[in-house]
Chain A
Amino acid sequence: MEQTPHVKHPPYVWVWVGLAVLTGLELAVAFLQHWSKTAIIIILVLLAVWKALLVALFYMHLRFERNRIRLLAIAPLPLAVILVVAVLTEYVF
């Protein structure tokens, strides 16, 4: 007979609630009147990063993984930032 170990799980449903609430917040912010476009873009990007972190840390279990896997997961991110910043400097500067 298969063993049924008791496993303590992260708060998956609360993370889902958080993602849903943040999505609603994004929609509200995106269509705000009389706010500067720059402020709206900054808030929307921060909300998106927050949601992405929730998924990566809890649903992909990076918060509980060993450091080697965490390193593997974040290794491409500096390269991604360099790529985007490098191409944007063409027009910003």
Chain B
Amino acid sequence: MAHAAVMQPPVKAETGAGVYNEKLGMWVFLGSEVMFFTALIGSYLILRVAQPGQWAQPGEILNVPITAVNTFFLICSSVTMVKAFASIQEGNQQGLKLYLILTVIIGATFVGIQIYEYSQLIHHGFLPSGYREGSELAEHAAAGELPAAIGLYGSTFFTMTGFHGFHVTMGVICMLFVTWKAFRGRYTATDHRGVEVIGLYWHFVDLVWIILFTIVYLI
């Protein structure tokens, strides 16, 4: 049958890059993620260069101090993640559990602060479509203290940071699963694939935020 021929290839499966399949798969996935975020960042850059008048100066609308603290939290979660990996490399189960829990807590804190940031921005009148009529920011714009129209600014800001926040949220959920497996003793010094793979994803999300923080909040 045709189906049987597809399910059973004539040659034996082999590793391509000398690494286990999950890790190779994660690197291929991260390659696709690079292109995904490049598309977002590229769109952002061209819109900003084309319509510079729609962007406010750093700190005028966005809350840079609270985001800087959030950036620091994400950096901290990266070091706790890599310490979890280092712990299980040495067979240290307690260290693995401790650092995974810390990573989950700090990652969830990042998402919580981002939700708070969004709520504050919306409260002050910064929406994906631009200013909310009658809001505090709309009054500043009417007085000439802010750009008259910020529709592109709002839509690109919420799209880029929203997709990143979604990635962090997915990372926290996956990390909870890894943590649950860690508490069941499923990882050892010789086999800790799940920890390494979720770590690669987590550090990539941190790396993307480093770029986004600079181009969205500081420039």
Judge if A64 is at the interface, Cβ distance under 8 Å: no
**CB of B138, distance to nearest CB on chain A (Å):** 25
| Cβ-defined contact, B71 with A7, below 8 A | no
CA distance A77 to B34 in the complex (A): 8
| Cβ-defined contact, B49 with A59, below 8 A | no
Q: Which of B41, B42, B86, B190 has the most CB of A within 10 A?
A: B42
| Cβ-defined contact, A83 with B211, below 8 A | no
| Cβ-defined contact, A51 with B210, below 8 A | yes
Residue count of chain A within 8 Å CB distance of chain B: 48
Interface string of A21-61 (1 = CB under 8 A from B): 00100110011000000001100110110011001101110
Residues from chain B with a CB closer than 8 A to the CB of A76 are 31-32, 34-35, 38
Of B123-131, B150-158, B200-208, the one touching chain A: B200-208
| Cβ-defined contact, B190 with A45, below 8 A | no
Residues from chain B with a CB closer than 8 A to the CB of A13 are 79
Residues from chain A with a CB closer than 8 A to the CB of B178 are none
| Cβ-defined contact, A84 with B218, below 8 A | no
Residue of A nearest to B208 (CB): A52
Judge if B82 is at the interface, Cβ distance under 8 Å: yes
| Cβ-defined contact, B19 with A69, below 8 A | yes
| Cβ-defined contact, B189 with A91, below 8 A | no
Residues from 52 to 99 in B contacting A, C-beta threshold 8 Å? 58-59, 64, 68, 71-72, 75-76, 78-79, 81-83, 86, 89-92
Judge if B27 is at the interface, Cβ distance under 8 Å: yes
Residues from chain A with a CB closer than 8 A to the CB of B148 are none
Judge if B28 is at the interface, Cβ distance under 8 Å: yes
| Cβ-defined contact, B82 with A73, below 8 A | no
| Cβ-defined contact, B19 with A79, below 8 A | no
| Cβ-defined contact, A55 with B210, below 8 A | yes
Residue from the list B91, B199, B203, B218 in contact with A3, Cβ < 8 A? B91
| Cβ-defined contact, B42 with A83, below 8 A | yes
CA distance A72 to B75 in the complex (A): 24
Residue of A nearest to B32 (CB): A76
| Cβ-defined contact, A2 with B45, below 8 A | no
Residue from the list A4, A12, A68 in contact with B79, Cβ < 8 A? A12
Residue from the list B39, B190, B218 in contact with A30, Cβ < 8 A? B218
| Cβ-defined contact, A27 with B68, below 8 A | yes
| Cβ-defined contact, B82 with A59, below 8 A | yes
Given contacts A13-B79, A16-B78, A73-B31, 10 further A-B contacts (CB under 8 A): A16-B79, A19-B78, A23-B71, A27-B68, A48-B210, A48-B213, A55-B203, A55-B207, A60-B207, A87-B42
